[in-house]
Amino acid sequence: MKTVSFSIWASYLIAILAIIYSAAGLFLSNKSQPERVITPQGEEVTLYARGLYRNDSQFKGGILRGTDAVTLFVAVPSLWMAARKSGRGDITSKLVLLGIQAFFVYNSASLALGAYWNEMLLVYILCFSLSLYSFIMLFQSFEMPTLVEKIRPTMPYRWIAGFCAFSGLSLLIWVLDIITALIQGKPPAHLEHYHTEITYVLDLAILFPAVYLAAFQLWKRNPQGIRLGALLLIFLVFTGLVVAGQSVVQAMDGIIHTPQEYAAYVIPFILLSLIALGLAFALFRNISPS
């Protein structure tokens, strides 16, 4: 129980830190004009040139602020509510909390390592550290025999397994980007002035294998797959919201993508998020509360 109570208190701290950095990212703005710079490779990049993300590109500035909006208005309240309900010993809330904490690990790691240096760096690092260790402890705190007892025989293992395997394919779009760049002998599109692309790293190194591990475990009706599958479904719900938020803020900044780009990078993630929401409900309905 000690590990659960640490994760719950850590959740409140993560929520406070996330309010600070997401509000700063979303609302700080000195209203200057975007400025153009040249990368060492000779590529011209337009900087966002305002607020916390002034050194990020105009393309990524909108992405970061869109994510901040979802973090502030959806993820933080969800984290707070899930932490409160988990404190009362509700197992489905604990699974939801696990998924939301996974979102915060991803979000704070992306900001600490992938956003251009800004004054919030220490807040990002603190939030990353807290959410990572809290996530690990919460994940380990599940007593599998207790969870197994609560799983109803009607649990749609194979539907969720199939969905995990299908949604994992969407991450291959990054491999396509990288291979296209390798064939063309140049850096991937949208690398801009960044040292590397953190989304490729996190999605391909962690998310991709985790999704297929969950699919495998669920297909075999292994209850470990319920823990991993539940957290991934919640994470995917947030991914869809974040992609939608990013596209809205980018559009407000004047960045309108081509229909092909929306079809490849935006709509699939939103659709997957909606299906993930439905399957998350199905999964939680098949876990007995008592």
Partner 1 sequence: MKSPSALRILVPIIIGLALVAAGGGLYPAAGQPFSLVNFRGEDVTINARGLYYWDTVSSAAQMQANDAVTLFLALPLLSVAYRLTQKGSLRGKLLLTGTLGFILYTYITMCFGAAYNPFFLIYVALFSLSLFAFVLSMMSFEINSLTAHFSEKLPRRWIAGLLFFAAAFLSLAWLGRIAPTFLSGTVPLLENTTSMFIQAMDLGIVVPVCILSGVLLLRRRPWGYLLASVGLIKFLTLGTAVSLMALNMARLGVPVSPVELIIFPGMTLAGMVMTIFLLKNVKEVQGGK
Q: Decide: 265 and 244 in contact? Cβ < 8 Å.
A: no
Query: In terms of Cα–Cα distance, which of 206, 154, 192 is closest to 57?
Result: 192
CB atoms within 10 A of CB 24: 17
> Contacts with partner 1 in 76-135 (CB under 8 A)?
112-117, 119, 121-122, 124-126, 128-129, 132-133
> Contacts with partner 1 in 28-87 (CB under 8 A)?
37-41, 47, 55
Query: Binding string to partner 1 for residues 204 to 243, with x set by CB under 8 A, is what?
Result: xxx-xx----------------------------------
Give the count of residues interacting with partner 1 (CB under 8 A).
Answer: 42
Nearer to partner 1, 40 or 259 (CB): 40
Q: Decide: 211 and 232 in contact? Cβ < 8 Å.
A: yes
In the list 74, 198, 264, 266, the residue contacting partner 1 (rule: CB under 8 A) is: 198
Nearer to partner 1, 205 or 252 (CB): 205
Nearer to partner 1, 74 or 213 (CB): 213
Nearer to partner 1, 62 or 240 (CB): 62
Determine the distance from the C-alpha atom of residue 178 to the mean position of all C-alpha atoms in its chain, rounded to a whole number.
21
In the list 6, 200, 212, 219, the residue contacting partner 1 (rule: CB under 8 A) is: 200
In the list 193, 215, 240, 241, the residue contacting partner 1 (rule: CB under 8 A) is: 193
Q: What is the DSSP string of 126-186?
A: HHHHHHHHHHHHHHHH--HHHHHHHB-TT--HHHHHHHHHHHHHTTHHHHHHHHHHHHHTS
25-30's contacts with Cβ under 8 Å and 24+ in sequence apart are 25/51, 25/52, 25/53, 25/64, 25/65, 25/68, 25/120, 26/65, 26/68, 26/69, 26/72, 27/51, 28/52, 30/54
In the list 9, 59, 159, 194, the residue contacting partner 1 (rule: CB under 8 A) is: 194
In the list 26, 70, 72, 191, the residue contacting partner 1 (rule: CB under 8 A) is: 191
In the list 25, 61, 188, 229, the residue contacting partner 1 (rule: CB under 8 A) is: 188
| DSSP reduced 3-state for 213 | helix
Nearer to partner 1, 6 or 262 (CB): 6
| DSSP reduced 3-state for 276 | helix
| Site residues for partner 1 per CB under 8 A | 37-41, 47, 55, 112-117, 119, 121-122, 124-126, 128-129, 132-133, 175, 178, 182, 187-188, 191, 193-198, 200-201, 204-206, 208-209
